[in-house]
Amino acid sequence: MSSSDIKQKQTNIGRSNSLPNKDNQKTESPGEWPDGTKHYSFNQQEPEEESHGRKRIQSTTSLEARKVAKIIISSQRRAEPYVPEPAQFERHANAWGYLQALVPAYPSGYLKRQSYESSTRTGYLIGRSQNSDFRSNGTFVNGAIVGANQRILLRSGDRIQLTRHTKYDDDHICNLYYRIILPPNFEVGTFQEEYDCRKILGRGNFASVYLATDKETTGEVAVKIINKSRFERRPKMLPSVIQEISILMSLEAHPCIIQIGKVFNEPKYLYLLLEYVRGGELFDYVIKRKKLTELETRFIFLQLFCAIDFLHSRDIAHRDLKPENVLLVDHKTLHVKITDFGLAKMQNGQSPFVSQCGTPDYVAPEILDSTGVRAYGRECDLWSLGVMLYICLCGFPPFNDERAPPPMKEQIKRGLFEFPEPYWTNIAPEGTKDLIRKLLTTDPAQRITAKRALLFYIVI
């Protein structure tokens, strides 16, 4: 074999990893990928058997060549560090935040304000609603999952992930989808810097409510102050507070529901600034009057049925309706607003609530189920309204331990109540009593809804 033959043979082996054959010659046709990188397609025949019985090594086909080229291009691109596009809030004055993509596969975007009032808030909430995130893996913020219909406080620099990491995923791509960036002027002063507390309005198990004045505008607000040290002793309290904030922030304005303003999340205290209502609690109004007229009661409850229908249409149950949680805007107009959403909760689809909560005198029988299979829904609010309607008209509750036996809990579970004389003589038309019966139905599936109660009370 001549030296030229040896060189030719080495060249052919280097190109195709196969022995040279006149019938196995390759023709190269240059091509170009979309990014300008050149590639070559190879046309060849099937390999023939060698004389020693071994198959020749097959050359790379056109499809395999493309795969190889893509891998090379991908590795070259990964080698180049990706620099996220910075926020430019000076060009987007109406943006409350910037969703910065941390991988090139996802676009960045600005989050527009729905109202300019939100620019003064100290935090935003991110969460999943039934109609927004259908991924079974869920939404994650800083590695923690956000359940359906749940909300969490969102701060500048938080990282948002839309799929769960698996061992087959690239850690960088999977875990760092987005970063939320808030405007430089987003942070506000402390509560003490902006407001003066004037007097206490009420105390609860978890918080105190004060009347406060805005130092700049002199506007009055009710501020709910929560000591964070209580979260350490009662860790389940924090999700309840976040739930209250998220529900109030997510709701559109309604004339019969209290509105939330700012939220100050400070190291030791959490401050919830709420709309201040001057007229006080419905409870005090009824106690002072001993009972209300049928006309007064009707006007108040038309508002309450309207507000509860609004909440239920958004899958929200208040779960602690009572006269203490209804505020009067004005005693002359009897305009009322529902407040205290500390036990409120969003219902996820058809999934029932299971926790026992509420105030004993107003709690629905399905919540008192002690068999271990407790499950209830938004209908519990209508039972509470039935108890309230009864009290407003006669001045005392339908269920009471003074009427034992049976004890009050058993009275509620069995729906044992009546309209005793002379207390109910000429108090209300029979239609109003019928509405109370429909509200105090022990079977929640048969209980009247807020929308039907509203229509029923209008026409009777």
Residue ranges of the annotated binding site for ATP are 224
Q: Which residue has the tokens 């409350």?
A: 96
Q: What is the DSSP letter of 133?
A: -
Q: What is the dihedral of CA 424, 430, 436, 440, to 10 degrees?
A: 100
CA distance 216 to 34: 59
Q: Which residue has the tokens 């927004």?
A: 132
CA distance 108 to 321: 43
CA distance 308 to 381: 8
Three-class DSSP labels, 267-286 = CCEEEEEEECCCCCEHHHHH
Contact partners, residue 386, CB within 8 Å, separation at least 6: 398, 436, 438, 439, 440
| 214 noted as active-site residue | no
Q: Which residue has the tokens 């196995």?
A: 24
Tokens representing 152 are: 């969490």
Burial pattern 212-241, b for ≥16 Cβ within 10 A else e, equals: bbeeeeeeebbbbbbeeeebeeeeebeebb
DSSP string, 94-116: TEEEEEEESSTTS--EEEE-SSG
Binding annotation: 224
CA distance 46 to 59: 9
Q: Is 164 left (phi over 0), alpha (psi -120 to 50) or beta?
A: beta
From the list 35, 171, 320, 434, the catalytic residue is 320
Contact 397, 390 (CB under 8 A): yes
Q: Which residues are catalytic?
A: 320
